[in-house]
Amino acid sequence: MRRFDYYQPESLEEASALMADLGSEASVIAGGTDLLVEIKEELRKPLHVVDIKKIPGLKDYRYDAEAGLRFGALVAARELEIWAPVIEHYPNLRTAVSALGSIQVRNRATVVGNVCRASPSADTIPPLVADGASLSVYNRGQERHILVEDLFTGPGRTVLVPGDIVTGISVPPSRPQSGRAYIKHGRRKAMELATVGVAVSLERDGNTCTEIRIALGAVAPTPIRARNAEALLRGRAIDPAAIAAIADAAMAESTPISNVRASAAYRREMVGVLTRRAIGQAMGGI
């Protein structure tokens, strides 16, 4: 592993100032499961690594029916995976965190890190986008909120600026008559990067879909919302024909690439299949 300087700030103020000073040559390390791999493989060459694990207050997570779910930047994927409120209210996020690497990785990897890494195939992003989650960002005394959906500008790129420290993520509460699902498609059952990931969160009134959000992973330079597809169902009756039309629309909205994992055509086709299946699962969960 190449050389870098290592810092352990003990407060948000200190960390933020440090990151602002060090600029683009600095990387934050929380779980480190992505960063260390990227350094070893020379995909990222930070001169400075800022460890935020000594900063207090970032390890908390809580849920209540009014405020929803909120977890800090140091909460490991595995903690959410085995936590009853997540299992009960956010099965989509549960599926995503359980599918992220191995238990060993998930004991270190943070969900905030998985999001901020901004990989198009990151598992936790589609369900968070579909649920309308937002990030809390601290920068030298200021706090602001960014919708997870609005975070990404390209593969590995975000709207975050030097000095920004993401302190946590908030997910709105689940509403009555709502259901959600995330389906990850890969070539084996675990230890996999998603070939395609589809998250669907929806609400219904009788057989009418009152709200739906579809988020797609690994089929565009960033995770995306399939808005045209959503519009086809929002306010309409949920029937097989409608679901088939949505699947087609979601396919049309995806712009996947071909690589060693799958061809673009296959990925697009899977968007259709998984969108249908995810809608079915989300409905089944109501």
Partner 1 sequence: MTRIVTMTVNGEERELPSPVNRTLLDVLRAEGGLTGTKKGCDVGDCGACTVIMDGKPVNACLVLAVEAEGADILTIEGLQHGPDRPHLLQEKFMEHGGAQCGFCTPGIVMMAKALLDETPAPSEDEIRFALAGNICRCTGYTKIIEAVQDAADEMNKARAQ
Partner 2 sequence: MTVHDHPVATKQSFSVVGKSVKRSDTLEKVTGSAIYAGDIILPGMLHGKIKRCDIAHARIKSIDTSKALALKGVKAVLTHENVPRVLHYGSPHPRSASVTKDQYILDDRVRYWGEGVAAVAAVSEEIAEEALGLIKVEYEPLPAVFTVEDALKPDAPAIHDNGLDNNNVLPPVIVERGDIEKGFVEADLVIEGEYELGRPTAAYMEPNICVTQWDGNGKLTIWSSTQTAFMVRGALAEVLGVPLNKVRVVVDHMGGGFGAKQDLFQHEFLSALLARETARPVRMEFTRKETFFGGRSRHPGKIWLKQGFTKDGRITARQARIVFNSGAYGSHSPGVTNVGTAAMTSLYRCDNIHLEGRAIYTNTPIAGAFRGYGVVQTYFAIDLQVDEAAERLGFDPAEFKLKNAVREGDIAPSNHPIVGHGLEDCIRRGMAESDWYTVRKAPKGDGVKRRGWGIGCEMHGSSAYPGIKEQGNAIVKMNEDGTVTLLTGTAGLGTGAHTALSQIVAEELGVPFEDIAVVQGDTDVVPWDIGAFASHTTYMGGRAAQIAAADVRRQVLAHAAPMLDAAPEDLTITDGVITRTDGSNRSISLGEAVAPQRGMPAIQLVGVGTYTPTKSYSFGAHFVEVEVDTETGEVAVLQVIPVHEIGKVIHPIAAAGQIEGGIQQGIGHTLSEDYVIDLTNGRSLNPSFVDYKMPLSMDMPPIRTIILETAPDPGGPWGAKGVGEDPIIAIGPAIANAIHDAIGVRFRHYPITPENVLNALRVKLKEA
Residues near partner 2, by CB under 8 A: 1-3, 41, 185, 187-191, 193, 259-263, 266, 269-270, 273
Residue placing its CB nearer to partner 2 in the complex, 59 or 266 = 266
As measured in angstroms, the least distance from the Cβ of 47 to partner 1 is: 11
Residue placing its CB nearer to partner 2 in the complex, 42 or 66 = 42
Residue placing its CB nearer to partner 2 in the complex, 127 or 186 = 186
As measured in angstroms, the least distance from the Cβ of 54 to partner 2 is: 25
Residue placing its CB nearer to partner 2 in the complex, 190 or 286 = 190
The site for partner 1 (CB under 8 A) is made up of 1-6, 29, 32-33, 36-37, 39-41, 49, 51, 53, 78, 101-105, 107-108, 189-191
As measured in angstroms, the least distance from the Cβ of 191 to partner 2 is: 6
Residue placing its CB nearer to partner 2 in the complex, 231 or 265 = 265
Q: Which helix (H) or strand (E) holds 40?
A: helix 35-40
As measured in angstroms, the least distance from the Cβ of 102 to partner 2 is: 9
- Pull the structure tokens for residue 223: 């995770």
4 binds, among partner 2, partner 1, none (CB under 5 to 8 A by kind): partner 1
207 binds, among partner 1, partner 2, none (CB under 5 to 8 A by kind): none
As measured in angstroms, the least distance from the Cβ of 270 to partner 2 is: 6
User: Are the CB atoms for 247 and 273 separated by under 8 Å?
Assistant: yes
